[in-house]
């Protein structure tokens, strides 16, 4: 059976070029980068090259990159480090639509007595910058805002937010796990303090991520141990995956234009056809300020899980919300925060494409989906 994979915000296929770059570091070059001998030194050289490639994709300097195990670790590290740097401040500003990698640590801090502000979004998933500005005060230790939303693809105006924070010398963390590799990012130009990215969202393997920390920012490791990563993250480096991440970042830079043009056009065609041919289907999220690969569509009065199961029978892999929260039947916190009516939020499907998708994939989804929706509506007619 053919597989049409349109769940790339959950995870991505490891690019063949990435696997090829990694293999020598699993087979022959298995040394420890911290060793003094040449065998280890060669490996350290590969880690340094990966650091340069990762930095280059986002306009950072190599020494501003710390390799980590995943995006979640990067997000948690920032929160830990920023609060350690501001022991007398108790306010943290974030949004109601963050990924659980940020949302859950924030809820824990709230329980511990921190004044955590969860900024609301409007029905299109947009932030109100005046509300953000009003929340910033001298007691604010950190602002943590995602760049691209994993469920809807909505992009927050990070450049404006960075200016607002920089003017007040408040550190800004950007969870850019979904944005890196999909939109151009230039940290030389935008005064962001910390930025998290994750390998498996950009065609590198799972189990590797990176944190950008702007030079001059005080830093307290979350994982303390050996002197790896210049003392900023203990633990022997996951060399092969780091090499893979570096290769994936270079490839992402080369494919950035295609992401904005061909992938965006595929997404737009898929979305347009669904919205015009299937009754009571609604796009969820700002149509303009969006990741180029993502569309989230609410099908009124049916369950998203049922749609997914029937799509799956044809080998079509999509998602009914964030991958990390699927398995629970509660409507997504993102759609709830946008005020999407329950009957629609419940029947939401996220299609997230990648450079490996083709016109034939979109044709196949468009061939199968209308029948699936009609069948489900027949089974449980709702007025």
Residue ranges that bind ligand PLP, judged by CB under 6 A: 70-72, 75, 99, 101, 146, 150, 175, 177-178, 198, 200, 209, 323-324
Maximum distance among all Cα pairs of the chain, rounded to whole angstroms: 73
CB of 279 to ligand PLP, least distance (A): 31
Note whether 293 and 263 are within 8 A (CB): yes
Beta carbon nearer to ligand PLP, 43 or 320: 320
Among the options 70, 249, 317, 324, which is catalytic? 324
Decide whether 50 or 376 has the Cβ nearer to ligand PLP: 50
Q: Three-state DSSP class for 283? A: strand
Question: Which is closer to ligand PLP, CB of 4 or CB of 334?
Answer: 334
Is the Cβ of residue 201 or residue 377 nearer to ligand PLP in the bound state?
201
Is 165 designated active site?
no
The 3-state DSSP class for residue 49 equals: helix
Question: Which residue's CB atom is positioned nearest to ligand PLP?
Answer: 71
Give the nearest distance from C-beta 269 to ligand PLP in angstroms: 24
Q: Is 90 helix (H, G, I), strand (E, B) or coil?
A: coil
- Where do the H-state alpha helices sit in 214-287? 228-231, 239-258, 264-277
Closer to ligand PLP by Cβ: residue 54 or 72: 72
DSSP 96-151: TT--HHHHHHHHHHHHTT-EEEEE-B-TTS-B-HHHHHHH--TTEEEEEEESB-TT
Q: How far is the CB of 322 from ligand PLP (least distance, A)?
A: 6
| 90 Cβ contact list (under 8 Å, min separation 6) | 113, 114, 115, 139, 141
Q: How far is the CB of 99 from ligand PLP (least distance, A)?
A: 4
Closest among 223, 213, 227, 243 to 44, alpha carbons compared: 243
Q: How far is the CB of 207 from ligand PLP (least distance, A)?
A: 8
Q: Which sequence positions are flagged as catalytic?
A: 324
């Amino acid at each position: 059976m053919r597989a049409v994979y349109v769940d790339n915000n959950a995870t991505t296929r490891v690019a063949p070029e990435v696997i090829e770059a990694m293999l020598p570091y699993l087979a022959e070059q298995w040394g420890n980068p911290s060793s003094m001998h040449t065998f280890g030194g060669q490996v350290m050289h590969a880690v340094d090259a990966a650091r340069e490639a990762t930095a280059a994709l986002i306009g950072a300097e190599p020494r501003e990159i710390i390799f980590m195990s995943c995006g979640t670790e990067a997000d948690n590290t920032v929160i830990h480090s920023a609060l350690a740097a501001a022991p007398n401040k108790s306010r943290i500003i974030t949004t109601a639509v963050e990924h659980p990698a940020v949302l859950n640590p924030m809820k824990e801090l709230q329980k511990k007595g921190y004044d955590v502000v969860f900024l609301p979004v409007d029905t299109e998933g947009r932030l109100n910058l005046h509300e953000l500005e009003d929340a910033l005060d001298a007691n604010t230790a950190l602002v943590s805002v995602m760049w691209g939303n994993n469920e809807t693809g909505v992009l927050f105006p990070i450049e404006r937010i960075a200016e607002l924070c920089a003017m007040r010398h408040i550190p800004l963390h950007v969870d850019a796990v979904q944005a890196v590799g999909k939109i151009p990012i230039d940290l030389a130009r935008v005064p962001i303090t910390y930025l998290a990215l994750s390998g498996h969202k950009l065609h590198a393997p799972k189990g590797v991520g990176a944190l950008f920390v702007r030079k001059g920012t005080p830093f307290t490791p979350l994982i303390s141990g050996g002197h790896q990563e210049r003392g900023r993250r203990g633990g022997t480096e996951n060399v092969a995956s780091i090499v893979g991440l570096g290769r994936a970042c270079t490839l992402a830079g080369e494919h950035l234009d295609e992401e904005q043009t061909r992938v965006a056009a595929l997404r737009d065609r898929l979305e347009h056809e669904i919205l015009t041919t299937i009754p009571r289907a609604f796009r969820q999220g700002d149509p303009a300020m969006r990741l180029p690969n993502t569309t989230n569509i609410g099908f009124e009065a049916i369950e998203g899980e049922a749609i997914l199961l029937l799509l799956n029978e044809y080998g079509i892999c999509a998602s009914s919300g964030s991958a990390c929260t699927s398995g629970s039947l509660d409507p997504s916190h993102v759609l709830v925060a946008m005020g999407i009516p329950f009957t629609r939020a419940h029947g939401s499907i996220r299609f997230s494409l990648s450079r490996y998708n083709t016109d034939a994939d979109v044709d196949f989804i468009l061939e199968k989906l209308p029948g699936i929706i009609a069948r489900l509506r027949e089974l449980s007619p709702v007025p």
